[in-house]
Amino acid sequence: MSNLQKTRAIVLSKLNFGDTSKIVTLYTEDYGKETCIIKGGRSAKSKIGGIVDVMNHIEVVFYKKENREMQLISQSDLISHYPHIKENLESLKYAASVLELLYTLTIANEVNKKLYKGSVKILDMMNDSSDNPQLLFVKYFMFFLDELGYSLKEYNCKKCSKDFSESEVIYYNHERGFLCPDCGKNEIVNYEFSKELFNLLICLSAKQNQCTYSFENLKKLIQFFEKFLKYHVPEFKGLKSIYTL
């Protein structure tokens, strides 16, 4: 038996289905990631089909039936379509990367209201603030990793517990974590941090507002997070949106 449910959601993807319908993937506030069908959604007369578009923040009503792969959407209302993101290529590629992380790395029907609210917040900020979208995405990526259970908050040498205040270079090994130069010289180094890059990582992790950064170092952090995820989640092949948009 199906029950009508209402929730808010971010539209992650859409796909044409049959002659008239659309299949969409939503990241919802109350039900996690859901795959839904919009019957007649490809018609120019379909109000629902126009509202349930990729990257839109919506309120949606659907028939929820357990153990059914696709839920049927019956109604939708637009909360935001993020116009400033969609008219700026730099903002668009990082906002699309937020959707890509949610689409590829969250589990269907696994509820995480904090992740939903954080994802809406970062899209709102990319749309409304003058902050660098690359910086906003790096902050979101760190938040996303924490919500997936992959914390990076232990910033002393994992082998000797030394802090890195005197180190000009810091090593990272996927199995051991961060290592000082002495402990890292006989280990496999999966990533190497300059002192400047490592200080930026610590500053962002502490959620400070005035972190000194360069665009190149932000790029390096994104690459590090991608490598980190590839190691822990082998099916993750890296972000496409950043490099293709």
127-177 pLDDT tens trace: 997 889 999 999 999 999 999 999 887 889 999 999 998 889 999 999 999
List the one residue out of 54, 14, 55 whose CA is nearest residue 37: 14
pTM (2 d.p.):
0.94
Task: Give the tens place of pLDDT for each residue, 33-48.
Answer: 999 999 998 888 889 9
What pLDDT is stored for residue 1 in this prediction? Answer: 52
CA distances from 65 to 1, 5, 35, 174 (A): 6, 10, 12, 41
The three-class DSSP label of residue 2 is coil
List beta partners, residue 27: 10, 33
Please tell me the distance from the alpha carbon of residue 235 to that of residue 26, in angstroms, as a whole number.
21
- Mean pLDDT for 16-21 is 90
Say how far apart CA 239 and CA 13 lie, in whole Å: 15
Q: Interhelix angle for 133-148 vs 89-105, to 10°?
A: 10
pLDDT of residue 68: 85
The CA distances from residue 155 to 4, 82, 196, 237, in Å, are 47, 36, 14, 26
Residue 233's pLDDT is 94
Burial-class residue 78 by CB neighbours within 10 Å (0-12, 13-18, 19+).
middle
Return the percentage of the chain with pLDDT > 70, whole number. 99
pLDDT at 86: 93
What average pLDDT does the segment 67-80 reach?
A: 93
Q: Of residues 129 and 17, which shows the higher confidence score? A: 17
* Distance, CA of 244 to CA of 112 (rounded, Å): 29
